[in-house]
Amino acid sequence: MIEKQNPKWVPQLLAWYDVNKRDLPWRDCGDPYKIWVSEVMSQQTRIEAMKPYYDNWMQLFPTLQDLANATEDEAVHAWQGLGYYSRARNLRLGVQEVVNKYGGIVPSNRKDIESLKGVGSYTAGAILSMAYGKREAAVDGNVLRIYARLYGVYDDILSTKGKKAITELVEATLPHDRPGDFNQSLMDFGSAVCIPKSPRCSECPIRNMCYAYQNNVTDQLPVRIKKTKVIDVPVWVGILQYGDYYLLHKRPNRGLLRSMWEFPSLEGANSFDEAEQGLAELVRALGFTLSLQPVMAKELTHIFSHRKWFMKAFKGDLDYVQPIPEMSDSIRYIPDDADIITYIQQSLPKDWMLIKRQDFANYAWAGPHGKLTELCKETQCNK
């Protein structure tokens, strides 16, 4: 076992970082808000893929106060494409707590910062070390993997025992003089060298001090036992048009993809006929009849943490069959008539609407449903 107190590998890793660190807009800025945003965005997302979203976010909400003043819909819409939308909601709520409780200054101690909505141990450690220079650990998946290999930790890194053991190692080896740089060096090292499946040991500056390398067990460490069972869910989607308008539904304000917009959908159907009947019943309650085309327009698979959607999308046309007051039969069947559209929109429940294709970008889409909007563009299905 290599030493825990003042280990030789720490300055060597920092020297590697000084040469190889990534040029990122939130680095070396000392702004806790920018660091906070970057850390939340980079969870479950590669840094390179996240950067354009970060840049866009900072244009929309350049300061903590700007985000505090934003609506939830504005924050979620700016987050669209990153997934895990509860992170955007919690980030906004956490920022509002900072404004209301701490006078707009992000707390500089772990107890207060971890009390903020959506801020866990890792994010707190990253902000405290990078923005305030505090000697605080930031333990994420990269760190768990690196330390398991480096120190030969065979405990499951997803278990409480494994995380506790590695956190203690990190706290013991964290340098006093450059804690923020050290935490960032682990992030970059885990992304570039000590990667999950096939670590690049030939490029590793500390391999001669690494337990896994020395004992030829890099393929065995870290130990990671997944217990969560992913449920397969068939989802049938109707891309349904009423003239130049599409029918959309807003998901419930809690649960998966909450308060986001989707095309009419049905879960669990086992055949096209069953799905067609279910979608027809769904739109019938809104006053429409449905003609669904039997040829599948697009097939998608989308994986959440506990569910996997197998999506089949079909195009269809709607007719509005409810009586429209003071409207003659010769006019009421013209779907693009402004008066008819206004009447239907006012008649629909609050979680349903008709919308033109060119207005899609103004709404936050429910995960993979956003990809189905491109189907309309590519196949020129809006008339």
Pairing between β-strand 231-242 and β-strand 265-267 as defined by DSSP bridges: antiparallel
Give the rounded distance of the alpha carbon of 99 from its chain centre: 25
- Could you tell me the two tokens for 71? 């609506």
Write out the E strands in 243-306: 245-250, 261-262, 265-267, 288-303
39 is catalytic: yes
Whether residue 299 contacts residue 313, with contact meaning beta carbons closer than 8 Å, is answered with yes
187 within 8 A of 142, measured Cβ to Cβ: yes
DSSP β-bridge partners for residue 308: 232, 303
Q: For the CA atoms of the chain, what is the radius of gyration?
A: 26
* C-beta neighbour count of 175 within 10 angstroms: 15
* 234 DSSP 8-state letter: E
3 state SS of 368: coil
179-192 vs 9-20: helix crossing angle, rounded to 10: 70
Q: Identify the residue whose tokens are 């450690």.
A: 125
Rounded Cα distance, 336 and 245, in Å: 8
The pair of structure tokens assigned to 351 is 């979680």
Catalytic residue among 39, 97, 136, 276: 39
Is 233 within 8 Å of 371 (Cβ atoms)?
A: no
Report the amino acid identity of residue 217.
V
Phi (first) and psi of residue 247, to 5 degrees: -90, 125
d(CA 252, CA 261): 10
Closest CA to 90 of 125, 65, 117, 58: 117
Kind of pairing between the strands at 288-303 and 261-262: unpaired
Contact indicator for 231, 306 with CB cutoff of 8 Å: yes
Closest CA to 320 of 339, 298, 299: 339
Cite the active site residues: 39
